[in-house]
Each structure stands twice: as structure tokens, then as C-alpha cells.
Structure 1
Amino acid sequence: MERQQISRIAHSAHPVAAPLSDGSVRRLLDQAVGDGTGRVLDLGCGEAPWLLRALAAHPRLRAVGVDTDAEALTLAQRAAETLGVAQRLGLHHQDAREFGLPEPFDVVLCVGATHAFGGLAPTLAAVARHLAPGGVALVGEGYWEREPDPAALAGLGGADPAEFADLPTTVARVVAEGWTPVQGHISSLREWDDYEWSWTGSLARWALDHPDHPDSAQAAAVAAEHRAGWLGGYRGTLGFVTLLLRRSA
């Protein structure tokens, strides 16, 4: 089973592919899109849950999503048609680093996908290239709640401690790149737990429901390994912050 397929199954029962509750997603979107008359871009959109929610709530909004997962984009298109918002959504099967349109966007999102650009700083640079003057960015990034121990790093697949910083340093780095936070959300432990139970549970449920599928055993093993790495490793160590940003004067 490909990594993208595992991710699609694992995220199938959660509002977005990040540790944010339904209410947190709604509040951040409402703050980002304002009166709902502009254009929104999601870099690394996956199945485009952020864009679909925004379009359904704001009938004058237009949106564009970019991702390398063709199947996720197909699912996003189907969902948009079901919601009746497909005419206001453009989807691009492309590396987000190479994406470009001549007209800038009023809102640019990149939540939980900074790895696609090689980290936080290059993500912010990419966002800036697409953002209209006076526009806002919504960027979600991990950070260390506390110094990661070997168990936490192992639970994250052998992560490098330098991959993230603590929260004050993370925000300071954003500011140093020429951005001003105008709002933000720090995911709670409950949001993290809901996200991780959903991630592992969805994959384990799929394996139980498809016992004869050739990938069933792999899906069950991945779910068990992920659950062990979370509960016995990085739970309470890895945090997640979502920042609403504007370019600094």
C-alpha cells in the first residue's frame, strides 16, 4: 500500500489532516476569509477539506487547490460536485513548489504540509509569492512542547530534533521572515488525542473490514506501529500551532 493511500484512509474520519477540531477549523477559516468574496489557495490540499468547507460557507468565494496525490484530488472533485461548489474550485495535480498563476490570492493556506517545501521558512517564502497585497496566510506547523527524548524521536520515525523548535522560537522565526501573526491556534492535547485515535482507528477499522485485501495486514501493522509511537513516544512532546499571518509593514 502506498503512503498516500495509507494517509487517505487514516484521515478519512477527521475534519482535516492536522490535529484541529471541527470548531477550530471553522473559526480559523472564518477569520481568514473575512467577508468571503476573495480567492483562496491551498498548497498541499489533499482532499481539499479546508477549501470545501470555505466554499460551502461562503457562496461568493473561489478556491484553488494543489497537490501531488491524484486520487485525493479526484475525491476532492467528487465532494465538490456533491456540495454544489465544483464551479468555484480549481484543482491542480502538481508539485506545490512549481505551481504558479498570474493572479494572486487573498488567502493562502499551508497547514501541516510544510514538509513539501522543505520546512517552515521556504513554505513562508512560497506562500508570499502567491499572496496579494493585504492578504492573509494560514500556516500550520509542528513544534516541540518539550525537549524530545529518544522515545519521542523514535515514535516519529527517527525524527531529527532540529526539525522543529519550541513554540516561542517557531513564532520568532515566522516574524523574522517578515510576517506578523494576527491570530493563532495552539492545538490542545485533546485535539491531538482525537486526531491520533482517528488516524490509527480509521486504518485499523479498514484492515478489519477488508480481511481478504492484500494490504489488510500492512494497514493493521501501520496502525499498531503508529499508535505505539504516539502513546509511548511523542504524546505531549510534539505540538502544533496554526498561525494567521499578514506581511509585516
Structure 2
Amino acid sequence: MDRQRRSQLAHADHPIAAPLADESVARLLDRAVADEADRALDLGCGGGAWLRRLLVRNPSMRAEGVDIHAAALEQAREGAEEDGVADRLVLHEMDAAAFASAHRFDVVLSVGAAHAFGGLLPTLTAARELLAPGGHFVVGDGFWEREPDAAALSSLGATWDDYADLPTTVDRVVAEGWTPVYGHVSTAGEWDDYEWSWTGSLSRWALDHREEPDALDTYKAAAEHRSEWLTGYRGTLGFVTLVLRRSP
């Protein structure tokens, strides 16, 4: 099974592909959308969960999403149709890091997609070129809740300098010319719900589709991920979502 198909199955019960509860997503969107905002962009939109919620909550807004995976964009398109917002959503199948537009956007989002740009700081650089004056950038990325040990690094396939602690992460963002106007640190409960949903959705699919050629491998992948989380990075890897504006 290809990685994108597996990701779709894993997020069936948790369409926000990050450790954020629905109420946290709603609060972040409320803080990011000013009264006069009318255009939004999601860099690395996946199945379009953020944009669909934004468009439902803000009937006058239009949005664009960018992702490299055709299947994810088709999921976004179908979901937008179901929500009645497809006429206000444009989707681009391409590398988010290569996206350019003549328009500037009042809200730019990139949550859990920093890998597409090569890290958090390059993500900030990409957003700077696309954000309208006075606009808000919503960015979410990992940080170290505590010093990672060998088990955590191994389970994540990471190195110590892939992330920093929370104060250093925010300091780096500020040093790049951004001001946090709101932020949310995912709670242990949000992380647990995300991981149990991720591994549970995959496991359930494998158990319900035993005749599928990929069923056993999918079942093993879910079990391996669950073990890596529980014995590796649980309580070590954090996730912060920041609502940013350009500093003066």
C-alpha cells in the first residue's frame, strides 16, 4: 500500500492530520480570520479539512489548497462538495514549496507540512511571499517537550536538532520577523486521541479487509507505529500551532 493511501485510511477518524481537537481548530481559525478577510490558502492541504472548516465558518471567503497528492486533493474536492463549498475552493496538484500566485492571501495555513519546505524556517519564508499585508499565518510544527532519548529519536527517525524546545522554537519564529498573536500547544489528550485514532483506523481497516493483499502489512504497520509512539516519543514530541503576523 502506498504511503498516501495508508495516510488516508489512518486519518479516517481524525481528518485534521495533526494532534488538534476540533475545538482547538475552531479557535485557531477564529483568531486567524479577520472581519475583512476574503481569501485563504493552505500549503500542504492534504484532504482539505482545514479549508473546508474555514469555508463553512466564513461564507464570504474563497480558498485555495496545494498538495502533491492527487488522491488527497480528490478527497478534498469530494468533501467540499458534501459541505456545499466546492464553488469557493480551488485545488492545485503540485509541490507546496513551488507554489506561486499573483494573489496575496489574508490567511495562509501550513499545519504539519513543514517537511514539504525543508523545515519550519523555510515554511515561514514561503508564507511571507504569499501573505497579504496585515494577514495571518497559521503554522503548526513539532518541538521537544523534553530532551529526546535514543528511543524517541529512533522511533521518529529524527535527530536531536530536527526540533528545539518550545521557547527556542518561538524565538526562532520571532527572529524571522513574525509576531505570535495566538498559539496552541497540543495537550497530552489531543496527542493520545490523534495516535489512537491513527493506529486504530488502520487496524480496523486491516481487520475488516483481511482478504485484501495489503491487509497484513497494514496491520503490522499500525502495530509498529503504536509501539513506536508508546515506547518512544509519547510525552517527548510536542506540537505547537501559532497564529502569526508580520512584525513591524
Place the TM-score, normalised by the shorter chain, in its bin.
Answer: over 0.9
Counterpart CA distance in 2 for 1:248 and 1:34 is 17
- Contact persistence 2:107–2:138 (CA under 8 A): yes
SS at match of 1:190: helix
Shift of 1:12: 1.3
Counterpart CA distance in 1 for 2:36 and 2:225 is 38
- Contact persistence 1:145–1:236 (CA under 8 A): yes
Shift of 1:36: 6.6
Aligned twin of 2:148 = 148
- Contact persistence 1:15–1:21 (CA under 8 A): no
SS at match of 1:12: coil
- Give the TM-score taking structure 1 as reference length: 0.98
Shift of 1:15: 4.0
Counterpart CA distance in 1 for 2:221 and 2:34 is 40
Identity percentage of aligned residues? 63
Deviation >4 Å, runs of 4+ = none
Aligned twin of 2:244 = 245
Counterpart CA distance in 2 for 1:36 and 1:197 is 39
Shift of 1:82: 1.3
Q: Deviations over 1:182-218 (max 9, x none)?
A: 0000000000000000000001011011101011011
- Give the TM-score taking structure 2 as reference length: 0.98
Q: Deviations over 1:151-183 (max 9, x none)?
A: 111221x21111000000000000010000000
SS at match of 2:96: coil
Q: Deviations over 1:123-153 (max 9, x none)?
A: 0000111000110100001000011001111
Kindly tell me: are residues 33 and 224 of structure 1, through their superposed partners in 2, closer, same or farther at Cα, counting changes over 3 Å?
A: same
Letter in 2 for 1:87: D
Pairwise CA RMSD = 0.8
Aligned twin of 1:163 = 162
Aligned twin of 1:130 = 130
Counterpart CA distance in 1 for 2:222 and 2:169 is 30
Aligned twin of 2:183 = 184
Letter in 1 for 2:204: R
- Contact persistence 2:37–2:106 (CA under 8 A): no
SS at match of 2:197: helix
Aligned twin of 2:82 = 82
Aligned twin of 2:4 = 4
- Contact persistence 2:15–2:47 (CA under 8 A): no
Shift of 1:34: 2.6
Counterpart CA distance in 2 for 1:17 and 1:139 is 13
Which structure 2 residue ranges, 5 or more long, are not aligned? none
Counterpart CA distance in 2 for 1:245 and 1:229 is 32
